[in-house]
Structure 1
Amino acid sequence: MSMAARRGKPKIRPPRKLGPDTSIKDTWTKLANAIREIQNHNASKLSFEEHYRYAYNMVLHKHGDQLYNGVKGLIAEHLDQLARDTIVPTFPRTSGSSSRGAEAIERAMEGDRFLKAVKGVWDDHTGSMRKLKDVLKYMDRSYTTSAGVPDIYEVGLTLFLQHIVRATPIHTHLIATLLSQVQLERDGETITRSTVRECVDILLRLSINDSNVYLADFEPEFLRRSADFYKLEAVTMLEKGDSALYLRNVERRLIEEADRTAHYLSSMTTNPLQDLLVEQLLSPHLSAILDASTGLTSMVDTEKVGDLRRLYTLLLRVPENIGRDALRLALRIDIEERGKAVNQSATETPDNDEDPKGKGKAKESNALSSALRWVQDTLDLKDKFDQLLAQAFGNDLSVQTSINEAFQSFINATPRAPEFLSLFIDEHLKKGTKAKTEDEIDQALEKTIILFRFLHDKDKFERYYKNHLARRMLYGRSASDDAEKGMVAKLKVEMGFQFTQKLEGMFTDMRISSEGATTFRNYLNRHGALPFDLSVNVLTASYWPQAIAAASTCTFNSTLAVATSTFQRYYDSRHSGRRLTWQGNLGHADVRVRFKARTHDLNVSTQALVVLLLFEDVDELSYEDIQAGSGLADAELGRTLQSLACGKFRILLKTPKGREVNPGDIFAFNDGFTCPLAKIKIMQVASKVESPREREETQVQVDEERKHVVEVSRLRRTR
Structure 2
Amino acid sequence: MASTEDIANSVWAEIVPTIDAILGTVNRSLPPDIFMKSYTAIITFCTATNHTQPTTSSTNRGAQIAGGELYYSFKSHITSHLQKMVLESQGHNDESLLIFYSKKWLAFTVSCRILNHLLGYLNRMWIKRVAEENIGEVFDINTTCLILWRDHFFKTLHPRLLPSMLKMIYRERKGETIDSGLLQTITDSTVTLGINDIDSKLTTLDLYQTYFEKEFIEQTEIFYKAESEIYIGSNPITDYMKKAGIWLEEEENRVKSYLHQSTRDGLIAKAEIVLIANHATIIQDQFQPLIEKDKIDDLTRMFGLLSRVPSTLERLRDLFLNHVKQQGLDAVRKVQESMAEIAASGAATPVEEGEKPARKSNSPLEVDPKTYMEALLFVHTKFAAITVAAFKSEAGFVASLDKACREFINRNAFCTTGSSKSSELLAKYTDSLLRKGSKINEDNEIEDLLNGAMTIFKFIEDKDVFQKFYTKNLAKRLVNSTSASDDAEASMISKLKEACGYEYTSKLQKMFGDMSVSKDLNSEFREKMETSHGKQDIDFSILVLGSGSWPLYAPTSGFNIPQDLIKPYERFLAYYQSKYQGRKLVWLTHLSKGELKTNYLPGNKTYTLQVSTYQMGILLPFNTALTYSWDELLQTTGLNPETLQGNLALLVKAKILTESDKKYTLNDGFKSKKLKVNLNIAIKSEQKQESDDTHKTIAKDRELVIQAAIVRIMKTRKTMKHVQLVQEVIAQVQARFKPQIPDIKRCIDILFEKEYIERMDGQKDMYSYVA
Q: 1:568 to 1:72 in 2, by over 3 A?
A: closer
Match of 1:432 in 2: 437
Matched residue SS, 1:416: helix
Work out which of the residue numbers 265, 272, 290 in structure 2 matches 1:271: 265
Structure 2 counterparts to residues 685-696 of structure 1, below 5 A: 685-687=682-684, 696=692
Q: Say whether 1:589 aligns with 2:601.
A: no
Match of 2:222 in 1: 228
Structure 2 counterparts to residues 455-534 of structure 1, below 5 A: 455-492=460-497, 494-497=500-503, 499-501=505-507, 504-505=510-511, 508=514, 511-512=517-518, 515-516=521-522, 519=525, 534=540
Letter in 1 for 2:435: K
In 2, Cα distance between equivalents of 1:129 and 1:479: 88
Q: 1:181 to 1:562 in 2, by over 3 A?
A: same
Match of 1:570 in 2: 571
Match of 1:700 in 2: 696
**What percent identity do the matched residue pairs reach?**
20
Match of 2:676 in 1: 679
Residue by residue over 1:72-98, the C-alpha shift from the partner in whole angstroms, topping out at 9 and shown as x without a partner, is 8955763454233x21xxx46xxxxxx
Give the TM-score of the pair, scaled to structure 1: 0.67
Deviation at 1:452, TM superposition (A): 3.6
Work out which of the residue numbers 537, 551, 557 in structure 1 matches 2:555: 551
Q: Say whether 1:115 aligns with 2:121.
A: no
Q: Say whether 1:193 aligns with 2:180.
A: yes
In 2, Cα distance between equivalents of 1:460 and 1:346: 22
Letter in 2 for 1:431: K
In 2, Cα distance between equivalents of 1:715 and 1:408: 30
Q: 1:598 to 1:290 in 2, by over 3 A?
A: farther
Deviation at 1:702, TM superposition (A): 0.8
In 1, Cα distance between equivalents of 2:396 and 2:340: 40
Deviation at 1:679, TM superposition (A): 3.3
In 2, Cα distance between equivalents of 1:471 and 1:17: 116
Deviation at 1:179, TM superposition (A): 1.8
Match of 2:609 in 1: 603
In 1, Cα distance between equivalents of 2:520 and 2:71: 119
Q: Is the 8 A contact 1:590 1:603 kept in 2?
A: yes
Structure 2 counterparts to residues 374-393 of structure 1, below 5 A: 374-379=372-377
Q: 1:404 to 1:358 in 2, by over 3 A?
A: closer
Q: 1:614 to 1:570 in 2, by over 3 A?
A: closer
Match of 2:212 in 1: 218
Q: Is the 8 A contact 2:410 2:420 kept in 1?
A: yes
Q: Is the 8 A contact 2:82 2:152 kept in 1?
A: yes
Deviation at 1:223, TM superposition (A): 0.6
Deviation at 1:681, TM superposition (A): 3.3
Q: Is the 8 A contact 2:75 2:144 kept in 1?
A: no
CA RMSD, 1 decimal: 6.0
Q: Is the 8 A contact 2:158 2:211 kept in 1?
A: no
Q: 1:448 to 1:287 in 2, by over 3 A?
A: farther
In 1, Cα distance between equivalents of 2:471 and 2:104: 92
Match of 2:254 in 1: 260
Residue by residue over 1:223-251, the C-alpha shift from the partner in whole angstroms, topping out at 9 and shown as x without a partner, is 112123334555566675656x6665555
Deviation at 1:478, TM superposition (A): 1.8
Match of 2:743 in 1: none
Q: Is the 8 A contact 1:345 1:374 kept in 2?
A: no
Q: Is the 8 A contact 2:187 2:258 kept in 1?
A: yes
Q: Which has the higher contact order (CA 8 A, sep 6+)?
A: 1
In 2, Cα distance between equivalents of 1:527 and 1:476: 28
Structure 2 counterparts to residues 535-550 of structure 1, below 5 A: 535-546=541-552, 549-550=553-554
In 2, Cα distance between equivalents of 1:511 and 1:266: 77
Residue by residue over 1:274-331, the C-alpha shift from the partner in whole angstroms, topping out at 9 and shown as x without a partner, is 33233334455666656634788469x4665x974x777766654xx65777776666
Structure 2's unaligned 5+ residue stretches are 46-50, 57-68, 198-204, 350-355, 412-418, 716-769
Structure 2 counterparts to residues 118-517 of structure 1, below 5 A: 118-120=101-103, 171=158, 173-205=160-192, 213-232=207-226, 249-283=243-277, 292-293=286-287, 297=291, 301=294, 308=300, 317-318=308-309, 322=311, 335-345=324-334, 347-348=336-337, 361-363=356-358, 370-379=368-377, 404=402, 407-413=405-411, 414-446=419-451, 448-449=453-454, 451-492=456-497, 494-497=500-503, 499-501=505-507, 504-505=510-511, 508=514, 511-512=517-518, 515-516=521-522
Deviation at 1:408, TM superposition (A): 4.6
Residue by residue over 1:412-460, the C-alpha shift from the partner in whole angstroms, topping out at 9 and shown as x without a partner, is 4442232222222212221122142344434543554454454442322
Matched residue SS, 2:595: strand
In 1, Cα distance between equivalents of 2:89 and 2:480: 104
Residue by residue over 1:460-489, the C-alpha shift from the partner in whole angstroms, topping out at 9 and shown as x without a partner, is 222111221222223231223454355445
Give the TM-score of the pair, scaled to structure 2: 0.64
Q: Is the 8 A contact 2:332 2:376 kept in 1?
A: no
Letter in 1 for 2:89: A
Q: Is the 8 A contact 1:423 1:468 kept in 2?
A: yes
Q: 1:689 to 1:339 in 2, by over 3 A?
A: farther
Match of 2:733 in 1: none
